[in-house]
Structures are given as structure tokens and as C-alpha cells.
Amino acid sequence: MDMRERVNAALKQAMKSKEADRLSTLRLINAAIKDKDISLRGSGEDTTGVGDPEVLAIMGRMVKQRQESARAYEEAGRLELAEKELFEIKVIEEFLPKQLNEDEAEAAVDAAIAEVGAQSIRDMGKVMGVLKAKFTGQMDFGKAGPMVKDRLG
């Protein structure tokens, strides 16, 4: 079952069990996926819609946005809004693969460097390309970039 089908199945289940907050979050995920489909159609690139890697990337961005919002709400003392954001993160993360821990991320970076034969910082793009191809949705690329840079620099 691909990601789109999993989200739709969860959406139907949330409707049946009358989980309003969960349903709202699942609808946001669906809307983000459909927005990407429409933008691809508009550019004439793809008529089949986005695939699982792009859906994972969309969900990863959604999690990151909510983490930033939750942090801002907590700093502003709006705890009820922060809790709502954190709940949405939990719902979205149900569909994401398990996140790599620090050691696993470092091992993945080392393996990617070895795979492309990276020698200098000029090869960083190749290394990041390999990481994104293999670990989309599993790795925070904002943290992976500096890791790669440290090893190549």
C-alpha cells in the first residue's frame, strides 16, 4: 500500500470513529499532497501525481513546520496551541519511517561518502543526493548537511 492509500485509509477510519482532530490533520496531509499534484500538472511534468518519496518529503516539511510553530507558541505562552501542533506532529509521524538516531545518521553519512568516493567539500552535493534518495523521511537533512561538511571539510 503506497503512502497516499495509507493516508486515505486512515482518513476513512478517522471519519468512522469520529476523531475530529485526527481527521483535520489527515485532511491537511491530503491537501498538501494534492497541492503538489496540481503544481506538477501545471508545469506539465507528471500526470500520475507524486510518488512515495515526494509524499515523505511533504510530510517531513509538515512536521518541521509544526515543530517550529509549537516552539513559537510555547515561547508565547500559548500552550493549548502548542499542544495542538504537537498532536498534529504525532499523527503525521505515524506515516513516516522511523527516524535515524545520531549514530545511525553518522553511519549513513559515512556510507554515502564512501559510495560516491567524496574527497572534498565540492562533492557535498553528490553525498546529499545519495542521502536524500535513501533516507527521505528518516533523516533531518538540516543536521546531515553539517555532518557531511565536517567529514569532507
What gap in Å lies between CA 4 and CA 103, rounded to an integer? Answer: 31
- Domain limits of the chain? 3-93, 102-152
Residue 51: all three cell numbers together? 510518488
Determine the Cα–Cα distance for residues 124 and 103; give it in Å rounded to an integer.
20
C-alpha distances (whole Å) from 58 to each of 97, 121, 140 are 13, 28, 13
Block means of pLDDT (10 residues each) for the chain, 153 residues, are: 89 95 95 90 72 86 93 95 95 88 88 88 89 82 86 82
Residue 56 pLDDT: 85
User: What pTM did the predictor assign?
Assistant: 0.74
Say which CATH topology domain 3-93 has: Hypothetical Protein Yqey; Chain: A; domain1 (1.10.1510)
Fold of 102-152: Arc Repressor Mutant, subunit A (1.10.10)
